[in-house]
Amino acid sequence: MKTYQLQSRLFFLFFSLLCVQIAHANEVITPLPVNADYDKAKAAVGKVLFFDPILSRDRSISCSSCHNLTSGGGDNRNVSIGIDGLKGNIQSPTVLNARYNFRQFWNGRAETLLEQASGPIHNPMEMGLNSQEVEKRINASQKYQKLFSNYHHGYISYAMILEAIVEFEKALVTPNSKFDRYLRGEIQLSTQEYTGYQTFKSLGCITCHNGINIGGNSFQKMGMIKPYIHTNNYPDLYSVTQKDYHKNVFKVPTLRNIALSAPYFHDASAKTLKEAITIMSNLNLGYTISEQQIKDLLAFLHTLTGETPVILN
């Protein structure tokens, strides 16, 4: 009898796990890897470079000045401030989990993290430094001579400096969010969180926000159903292609850690997550959603906050 009960329990456990796997097999969102691969020696150097203002012309701005890794990986200001107090022309997106974006920057003008990393350094409104001066400063630094010697001996090229920064950015993965653990069948969502996820799907949010980064894998127009005023002050896809139908088209932002990364949108026009939900459901989905739906969606979106990347601990 005891043997039969044990077999029954094991069968029930196996059946339950199988049901969970089948239920999650059709998901269009996939969890982040728990252990992301990257070159640890290079990333260690990149981490120092990321926080060092040595890469800006007046030594006042670092990568972390515009990408605050303790508050969502972006900038909580409407636009970032560069050298000489110059203001940027778009809200800085998060660098957390950026390795999973299909392109970089809001208008996707950089195809790789390597290309993206070089952009702000050369930008006269951001860090304003050329490649030769970067090399000169880093090679004159005993600190960096020592750091790079862990895997390289000799002259430190600009390409090597960028590679180190990129390896650090590749390490900025935030695994084990509550939703990731739900997708892996480890835990259950609360009733409200689950309802919010179903609402997220039924309203059509998931059409653009899907994949491993819950966004970051396509372009989309801001204001598909109702028009959104276009301004040339914000570099959209039109600024790259000069095609009229690309006005107000931007890379779909990731929703991972979205509860931490206010303000929202390319122009930082939504100051709260509730406001962002209300605006997007109206402009891009054509819905005026209820207060309860907003509460449910907020509950779900908070499950997308992951752990601090190991390299920052």
pTM, whole model, 2 decimals? 0.89
CA distance 284 to 302: 21
Judged by average pLDDT, the poorest of 19-28, 121-130, 165-174, 223-232 is 19-28
Q: What are phi and psi of 251, to 5 degrees?
A: -65, 135
Encoded tokens for 293: 């739906």
Encoded tokens for 33: 């890897």
pLDDT digits (tens, 9 = 90+) for 43-65: 999 999 999 999 999 999 999 99
- Structural domains of the chain, ranges and CATH numbers in brackets: 40-170 (1.10.760.10), 178-311 (1.10.760.10)
CB atoms within 10 A of CB 24: 15
Active site residue 126: yes
pLDDT digits (tens, 9 = 90+) for 241-275: 999 999 999 999 999 999 999 999 999 999 999 99
CA distance 260 to 272: 10
Element (H, E) at 249: strand 249-251
pLDDT digits (tens, 9 = 90+) for 178-213: 999 999 999 999 999 999 999 999 999 999 999 999
Of 115, 126, 135, 167, which is the active-site residue? 126
